[in-house]
């Protein structure tokens, strides 16, 4: 569990594929619960965990894609899930 | 010209083999592989013929870039009328057989009639002969491969063959080549077996030197390889995680078909994902994934080679499955996994091994097992039919058993071999079949990805993701991101993907290149290799022509606009979780517009003007 001093919200944070290397210790199945300040934006979390921004290709908040311009907005709510992938594809 | 301009015609009824020149007028309009072989089929068979009768033909076909140094230029396709759907079928496969056919000097091999007894075709460059296969009949695809290699004492022969499922009449049997690659969908293997044709074994040493402008071709293909290497998807994502990287993505966006598409998210997705394949198993400390693998000439190498824990229930005391073999790609992992509610990666891998060993489509098989599990749950199928097996969602032993009985067509395996549509009809619940035109769905729930609903409903070979993979845009942002939850703009998107894909499928290249390449990258390679002026615009037009030709075949075969639909579940039962909560697929909002931009009547028939414009 990642404890931050100014706990405001608890969210589920997921990093997949090659981004898994950036997950903090204690993560399981690419997932960790983290406590974050109320004002956190997706890009702040991306930076905090040192995920290169150009590798944060698919950024999903509760499964919904966040456009680049939404990633600096204060749109995360308590209990949300933020999941991030590098560019990936399949078929 | 990268065509060899040679067509081999094999009349199985008479036992004759002749060669004829490729129809170059058609090649200019349909390019090769899917387009050109479909043109031959459309011209040569009655669309109403019995798919398993002597009037159906089966064409193995390469593309003009097959066997060249273009990246992924090793593809081949099998074109025929499908016994599963009654529609035109074209199944595409990688591996090495396509390159071998081309190197032996053939653009395509057309099989007609039915052999009076089991045979296989042996081709060594110009030499071709039909040889008895009585000793191969009843053997799996893997055993057949080994026996033919032994018989000819030539390890370099490439073989495409059918397994026991096809012989037993499984309607979604494929043709396995190079042990774990398959022309998998629509029952093309069932047609091959119906012709008493067990295998095609090829040795080709002629080379493919006949490109139009070798210097320009080298330049164009080098440039293409550079684009693939520098692209994060084709350069890193696909080789490392394979298509299976999508498991967690699609689950997160709420479009993971689960338990016969009752749900759109699977709680066990992370356990059967591409990431999970890399993780050491708690039981033996080794990961499921052994290595990645490439088809002929491919610089992407997305293939999965896997190993099952020797202590796993599925292969205990079965050393023949202890080695590394073709692992689960996303489509197999989804169908055998979440659709059956199974989160046991090794059980999925075992079922996938059996699909390869005996040549049956893991998508259609998994989806049929899922339908059977739902029928079992509501009591329409009982342990009486299954011989005691508890065919319940989430039971990995039931999945393994289902694969074993389907592989050999034994007992309830006969019923599973019917496919989901006929199985659900037989047991009185046709609405539980998740199919379009009789073919089972692939791995994207169209409530969570709206464009895929239109893709499935209008696909010329029944439900299929590879006919227009709008997932690329709606989910992955390739070439640009669109919203998966809206229907606006999707008819245009689907048409664009359908036409472009039909063109790519006619080149000899792999459609996975299109995660990095557009027709702007592909056309210069085709143009440098082939006579004619192959611009991106011309390729799009060829794609549109192919699409309309396939459509006309299907209409003549008896399909109508009524068949361009989805199961009731996807149109009436809303998604219960995830971003698509409360949504059904909005097919009604998309279909009329789609017909209109296709230049079809409101009944889905190409208008005279459209036919004329495309030269049909
Ligand atoms: S991308 Fe994958 S499927 Fe396509 S040719 Fe390469 S290895 Fe084969």
Q: H-helix or E-strand containing B559?
A: none
Residue B88 has pLDDT above 70, yes or no: yes
CB B527 within 8 A of CB B535: yes
Q: Mark whether B169 and B275 lie in a shared domain.
A: no
CA–CA dist B102, B297 (Å, integer): 13
If asked whether residues B357 and B434 sit together in one domain, one would say yes
What would the pLDDT profile of A17-67 be if each residue is shown by its tens digit? Answer: 999 999 988 888 899 999 999 999 999 999 999 999 999 999 999 999 999
Mark which residues 11-70 of A lie under 8 Å from B by CB: 14, 16-18, 20, 29-31, 55, 57-58, 60, 62-65, 67
Neighbours of B602 (CB within 10 A): 10
Cβ distance B173 to B190 under 8 Å? yes
The answer to whether B246 contacts A90, with C-beta atoms less than 8 Å apart, is yes
Distance from CA of A37 to the nearest CA of B (A): 24
Residue A7 is predicted with a pLDDT of: 60
Say if the Cβ atoms of B252 and A29 lie within 8 Å. no
Whether residue B427 has pLDDT greater than 60: yes
Are B34 and B152 in the same domain?
Answer: yes
CA A20 to each of CA A27, B50, B267: distance values in angstroms, whole numbers, following the listed order: 9, 52, 20
In this structure, is residue B530 part of a structural domain?
Answer: no
- Alpha carbons B376 and B392: distance in angstroms, whole number: 7
What is B231-254 written as a DSSP string?
SHIIIIIHHHH-GGGHHHHHHHTT
pLDDT-derived band at B132, boundaries 50, 70, 90 = very high
Token pair 């049909």 is found at B616
How far does B282 lie from chain A, in Å, by closest CA? 14
pLDDT at A25: 86
* Per-residue pLDDT band at A1 (split at 50, 70, 90): very low
Handedness of CA B226, B231, B237, B243 (dihedral sign): negative
pLDDT, averaged across chain B: 97
CB contact under 8 A, A90 and B240: no
In chain A, at which residue ranges do the beta strands (DSSP E only) sit?
9-15, 31-36, 58-61, 64-65, 81-85
B389 Cα to chain A: minimum distance (Å): 32
By Cβ distance, the residue of B329, B465, B578 closest to A63 is B578
* B15, B156: one domain: yes
- When pLDDT is cut at 50, 70 and 90, the band that residue B292 belongs to is very high
- pLDDT, position A27: 86
Nearest to B512 among A14, A57, A91 (CB): A91
Question: Which residue among B91, B301, B469 has the greatest number of ligand 1 atoms within 8 angstroms of its CB, and so is best to mutate?
Answer: B301
Regarding whether B425 and B466 lie in a shared domain, the answer is no
* Average pLDDT of the segment spanning B373-396: 98
Residue among A20, A67, A86 minimizing CB distance to B275: A20
Q: How confident is the model at residue B209 (pLDDT cuts 50, 70, 90)?
A: confident
Classify residue B576: in a domain, yes or no.
Answer: no
Chain A residues whose beta carbon lies within 8 Å of the beta carbon of residue B242: 90
Assign B160 a pLDDT band (cuts: 50, 70, 90): very high
Helix (H) or strand (E) holding B147: helix B141-152
Whose CA is closest to atom 2 on ligand 1?
B302
Same domain, B10 and B92: yes
Is residue B227, in this structure, part of any structural domain at all? no
Handedness of CA B308, B342, B428, B377 (dihedral sign): positive
Position A2 pLDDT exceeds 70: no
Residues B493 and B542 in one domain: yes
Pocket of ligand 1 (CB under 6 A): B 72, 94, 294-295, 298, 300-303, 510, 512
Give residue-wise pLDDT tens across range B97-120. Answer: 999 999 999 999 999 999 999 999
Spell out a b/e string for B565-599, using b for 16 or more CB atoms within 10 Å of the CB, else e.
Answer: bbbebbbeeebeebbbeebbbbbebbbebbbeebb
In B63-179, beta strands by DSSP E: 76-81, 88-93, 108-112, 119-124, 127-132, 158-161, 175-177
Question: Same structural domain for residues B426 and B458?
Answer: no
Cα(B233) to centroid(ligand 1), Å: 13
* A91 contact residues in B (CB cutoff 8 A): 243, 330-331, 465-466, 469, 511-512
Question: Which element (helix H / strand E) includes A66?
Answer: none
Name the least confident of B10-24, B184-198, B203-217: B203-217
- Would residue B223 count as lying in a domain? no
Q: Which of B163, B185, B203 is the last residue of a domain?
A: B203
Residue A5 C-alpha, separation from nearest chain B C-alpha, in angstroms:
30
Last residue of a domain, one of B397, B415, B439: B439
Give chain A's domains with CATH numbers. Answer: 4-85 (3.10.20.30)
User: Which pLDDT tens digit goes with each residue over B299-348?
Assistant: 999 999 999 999 999 999 999 999 999 999 999 999 999 999 999 999 99
A87 and chain B in contact, CB less than 8 A: yes
- What is the mean predicted confidence (pLDDT) over B148-172? 98
Residue B320 and residue B396 in one domain: yes
B36 and B16 belong to one structural domain? yes
Q: Does residue B375 surpass a pLDDT of 70? A: yes
Could you tell me the CATH number of the domain that includes residue B301? 1.10.569.10
Domain that holds residue B75: 6-203
User: Last residue of a domain, which of B439, B464, B498?
Assistant: B439
- Name the percent of chain B lying above pLDDT 90: 99
Q: Are residues B419 and B490 in the same domain?
A: no
Q: Is residue B304 part of a domain?
A: yes
Does any domain span residue B212? no
B577 is a domain residue: no
B426 domain-assigned: yes
The string of pLDDT tens digits covering residues B32-47 is 999 999 999 999 999 9
Structural domains in chain B (count): 3
Residues of A in contact with B233 (CB under 8 A): 87-89
Please tell me whether residues B365 and B505 are part of one structural domain.
Answer: no
Largest separation between any pair of C-alpha atoms in chain B: 67
């Amino acid at each position: 569990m990642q404890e931050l001093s100014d706990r405001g919200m608890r969210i589920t944070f997921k990093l997949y594929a090659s981004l898994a290397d950036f997950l903090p210790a204690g993560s399981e199945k690419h997932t960790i619960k983290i406590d974050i300040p109320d004002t956190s934006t997706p890009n702040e979390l991306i930076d905090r965990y040192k995920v290169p921004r150009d590798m944060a290709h698919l950024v999903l908040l509760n499964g919904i894609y966040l456009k680049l311009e939404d990633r600096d907005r204060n749109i995360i709510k308590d209990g949300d899930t933020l999941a991030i992938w590098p560019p990936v594809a399949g078929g | 010209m990268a065509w060899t301009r040679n067509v081999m015609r094999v009349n199985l009824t008479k036992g004759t083999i002749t060669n004829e020149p490729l129809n170059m007028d058609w090649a200019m309009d349909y390019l090769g592989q899917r387009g050109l072989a479909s043109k031959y089929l459309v011209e040569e068979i009655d669309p109403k013929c019995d798919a398993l009768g002597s009037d159906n033909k089966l064409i193995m076909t390469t593309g003009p870039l097959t066997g060249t140094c273009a990246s992924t230029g090793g593809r081949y396709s099998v074109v025929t009328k499908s016994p599963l759907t009654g529609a035109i079928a074209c199944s595409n496969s990688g591996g090495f057989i396509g390159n071998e056919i081309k190197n032996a000097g053939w653009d395509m091999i057309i099989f007609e009639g039915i052999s009076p007894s089991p045979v296989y075709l042996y081709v060594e460059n110009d030499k071709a002969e039909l040889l008895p296969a009585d000793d191969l009949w009843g053997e799996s695809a893997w055993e057949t491969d080994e026996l033919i290699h032994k018989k000819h004492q030539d390890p370099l022969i490439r073989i495409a063959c059918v397994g026991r499922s096809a012989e037993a009449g499984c309607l979604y049997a494929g043709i396995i080549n190079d042990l774990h690659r398959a022309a998998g969908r629509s029952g093309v293997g069932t047609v091959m077996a119906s012709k008493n044709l067990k295998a095609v074994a090829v040795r080709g040493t002629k080379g493919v030197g006949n490109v139009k402008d070798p210097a320009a071709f080298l330049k164009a293909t080098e440039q293409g390889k550079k684009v693939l290497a520098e692209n994060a998807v084709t350069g890193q994502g696909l080789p490392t995680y394979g298509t299976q990287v999508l498991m967690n993505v699609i689950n997160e966006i709420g479009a993971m078909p689960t338990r016969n598409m009752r749900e759109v998210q699977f709680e066990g997705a992370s356990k059967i994902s591409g990431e999970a394949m890399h993780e050491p198993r708690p039981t033996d400390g080794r990961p499921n994934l052994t290595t990645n693998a490439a088809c002929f000439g491919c610089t992407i190498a997305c293939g999965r080679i896997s190993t099952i824990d020797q202590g796993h229930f599925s292969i205990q005391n079965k050393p023949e499955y202890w080695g590394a073999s073709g692992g689960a790609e996303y489509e197999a992992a989804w169908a055998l996994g979440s659709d059956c509610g199974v989160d046991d990666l090794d059980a999925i891998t075992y079922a996938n091994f059996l699909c390869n060993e005996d040549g049956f489509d893991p998508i259609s098989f998994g989806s049929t097992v899922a339908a059977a599990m739902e029928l079992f749950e509501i009591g329409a199928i009982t342990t009486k039919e299954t011989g005691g097996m508890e065919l319940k969602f989430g039971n990995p032993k039931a999945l393994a058993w289902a694969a074993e009985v389907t592989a050999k067509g034994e007992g309830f395996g006969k019923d599973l071999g019917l496919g989901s549509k006929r199985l659900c009809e037989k047991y009185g619940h046709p609405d539980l079949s998740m199919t379009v035109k009789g073919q089972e769905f692939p791995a994207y729930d169209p409530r969570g990805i709206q464009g895929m609903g239109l893709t499935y409903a209008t696909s010329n070979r029944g439900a299929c993701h590879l006919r227009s993979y709008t997932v690329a845009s709606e989910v992955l942002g390739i070439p640009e991101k669109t919203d998966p939850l809206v229907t606006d703009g999707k008819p245009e998107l689907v048409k664009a993907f359908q036409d472009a894909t039909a063109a790519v499928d006619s080149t000899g290249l792999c459609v996975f290149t299109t995660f990095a390449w557009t027709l702007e990258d592909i056309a210069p390679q085709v143009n440098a290799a082939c006579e004619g002026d192959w611009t991106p615009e011309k390729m799009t037009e060829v794609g549109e022509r192919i699409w309309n030709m396939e459509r006309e075949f299907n209409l003549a075969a008896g399909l109508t606009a009524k068949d361009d639909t989805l199961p009731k579940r996807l149109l009436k039962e809303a998604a219960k979780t995830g971003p698509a909560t409360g949504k059904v697929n909005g097919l009604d909002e998309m279909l009329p517009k789609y017909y209109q931009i296709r230049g079809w009547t409101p009944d889905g028939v190409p208008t005279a003007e459209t036919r004329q414009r495309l030269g049909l």
